[in-house]
Amino acid sequence: MFEALDRLITGLKTVRDVAQRMHDAELLSALADLTLDSAQLKVDTATVREENTRLREEVEQLRRQADIRSKIEIKDGMYYLTEPISGYSQGPFCTRCLDSDGKLVTLMGPGWQPGIEHGPGTFRTPDGRGYTCPECIRRRR
């Protein structure tokens, strides 16, 4: 896309050189306007390209989240994978981190972290085993 714009700008310069040799002031003025417009078009194109890259990354992140959502189940208030996802354990995972931030955070435990047995980021199974979310705990401090 930029290559075509570069060729357009080069072509305009060539036409401007011809117009200068012809001493055509009206044509030179029109070409100057077109040259400015083409330069602005190049800037705008770069902006659109950056936006496109950002949106593609966002779509990819949403696809990953949707993929994760299709492979989890909730048990005892914690998420577990129903099928493997590369790079992750089977769980348990923090419900708050996935639900609010879209992040699959493996819980620490079983066993409480020193001084942290209650509040956000803590989970307790029916048989009393404690789990702690490192991300939620970090936010509490």
Q: Which residues bind Zn ion (CB under 5 A)?
A: 94, 96-97, 133, 135-136
Angle ∠(25,27,28) on CA atoms, nearest 5: 60
The beta strand positions in 21-134, using DSSP E, are 72-75, 78-81, 122-124, 130-132
Q: How far is the CB of 133 from Zn ion (least distance, A)?
A: 3
**CA proximity to 68, closest of 98, 97, 95:** 98
Q: How far is the CB of 94 from Zn ion (least distance, A)?
A: 3
Q: How far is the CB of 6 from Zn ion (least distance, A)?
A: 49
Q: How far is the CB of 69 from Zn ion (least distance, A)?
A: 16
Q: How far is the CB of 122 from Zn ion (least distance, A)?
A: 10
CB atoms near residue 124 (< 10 Å): 17
By C-beta, is 35 or 113 nearer to Zn ion? 113
By C-beta, is 12 or 123 nearer to Zn ion? 123
By C-beta, is 19 or 98 nearer to Zn ion? 98
Q: How many CA atoms are closer than 13 Å to the CA of 86, on its beta-carbon side?
A: 1
Residue 61 burial (C-beta neighbours within 10 Å; 0-12, 13-18, 19+): exposed
By C-beta, is 19 or 133 nearer to Zn ion? 133
By C-beta, is 78 or 97 nearer to Zn ion? 97
CB atoms near residue 53 (< 10 Å): 10
